Amino acid sequence: MTTMNMVQALNAALAEEMERDDRVIVLGEDVGRDGGVFRVTEGLFDRFGPERVVDTPLAESLIVGMATGMAMAGLRPVAEIQFMGFSYLAMSMLISHTARMRNRTRGTLTAPMVMRMPYGAGVKALEHHSESTEALYVQIPGLKVVVPATPREAKGLLLASIRDPDPVIFLEPTRSYRLFKEEVEDGADALPLGRARTVKEGDDLTVVGWGAMMPLIQEAVDAAEGEGTSCEVIDLRTLSPMDSATVVSSVRRTGRAVVVQEAPMTCGVAAELVARINEQALLSLEAPVERVTAPDITVPLPRGEKWYYITPDRIYNAIRRTASF
């Protein structure tokens, strides 16, 4: 056991997996000597050399395309996109080739790669560095979309993503990179993809979120529970394929739910989750399912970010409204 933050946990996952499997190659901008702008790949260049820790030209479509080709040839590339706001340049590659390679060749060529990137606001970053556009990726059949919430989760889910036979979009909450530490097992096992995690059990209401929202949810839930509302907290972990079964079975029991999403409201992952709750748990519902999301506006620059970013208060108020409906 070692106590580490999320950056260290991700670094440990990469190092352990590269040690274990020489098919794993890391590529991206500044991932080599610099160790990545957030230091997730720190030390890998010295340890595994320039053939396996590859500084690429500054070209996102190329990075994802090259990773796709490497994966088609049997390697297990992990491509880093420096910020989610720069990932759209690779969108065509992902949609046109990576995501559909298995289907269009009936499984004779596949693209088992990981596209890692930091996402999310709340860190007073430059423009284009605060995006949370996970729903764009969830819309693409053939991709998996994974978002860890804690250091331990980050390590286990990244290991699973690298080993997964399908391409995985791995979204790392920038705000949680160094927010807190926890005990992480050396040589940890991979965690399952496609399965939500019940963070804590409760009876009165279900709160669902993922990634950077989890610490905020925890804060809100602590306040609500202090007032006697017992909350079940679920970390969705994998946005695609979505484990709605865990959420639905919880809501069938609690009868109430709040879904928290950092991204803008319309057609977000929360909307899909609410639709599934309505389809499968309507008769158990005691209250409308509430969403706590960002508004449908461009992420404000740091001085206006306070109006945009989800606060524990907003989540707490949604819990109160839903619990007392």
What are the residue numbers of the active site? 129
Which residues contact another protein by CB under 8 A?
A: 25, 51, 56-57, 59, 61-62, 64-75, 77, 89, 92-93, 96-97, 101-110, 141-142, 144, 164-166, 194, 241-245
Return the number of the residue (25 or 323) whose C-beta is nearest another protein. 25
CA distance 61 to 67: 10
CA distance 96 to 93: 5
Minimal distance in Å, beta carbon 308 to another protein?
30
Scan for tokens 């929202």, then name that residue: 213
Minimal distance in Å, beta carbon 116 to another protein?
17
Lookup: tokens for 169: 């979009």
Any idea what the Cα angle at residue 56 is, between residues 51 and 57, rounded to 5°? 150
Minimal distance in Å, beta carbon 87 to another protein?
15
Alpha carbon separation from 44 to 48, 58, 75, 82, 185 (Å, rounded)? 6, 20, 17, 17, 19
Return the number of the residue (105 or 298) whose C-beta is nearest another protein. 105
Return the number of the residue (29 or 204) whose C-beta is nearest another protein. 29
DSSP β-ladder status, 76-80 and 205-209:
unpaired
Minimal distance in Å, beta carbon 96 to another protein?
5
Minimal distance in Å, beta carbon 247 to another protein?
11
Helix (H) or strand (E) holding 277: helix 269-281
Helix (H) or strand (E) holding 234: strand 231-235
Return the number of the residue (141 or 304) whose C-beta is nearest another protein. 141
Return the number of the residue (80 or 166) whose C-beta is nearest another protein. 166
Instruction: Tell me which residue of 293, 317, 8 sits closest to 172, measured CA to CA.
Output: 8
Burial annotation 36-52 (CB, 10 A radius, 16+ → b, else e): bbbebbbebbeebeeeb
Minimal distance in Å, beta carbon 99 to another protein?
9
Any idea what the Cα angle at residue 157 is, between residues 151 and 162, rounded to 5°? 125
Return the SS3 of 23. Answer: coil
Minimal distance in Å, beta carbon 226 to another protein?
36
Residues contacting residue 77 through CB under 8 Å, at least 6 positions apart: 24, 25, 26, 27, 66, 67, 70, 71, 113, 114
Return the number of the residue (4 or 146) whose C-beta is nearest another protein. 146
Return the SS3 of 31. Answer: coil
Return the number of the residue (194 or 300) whose C-beta is nearest another protein. 194
Lookup: tokens for 272: 């899909």
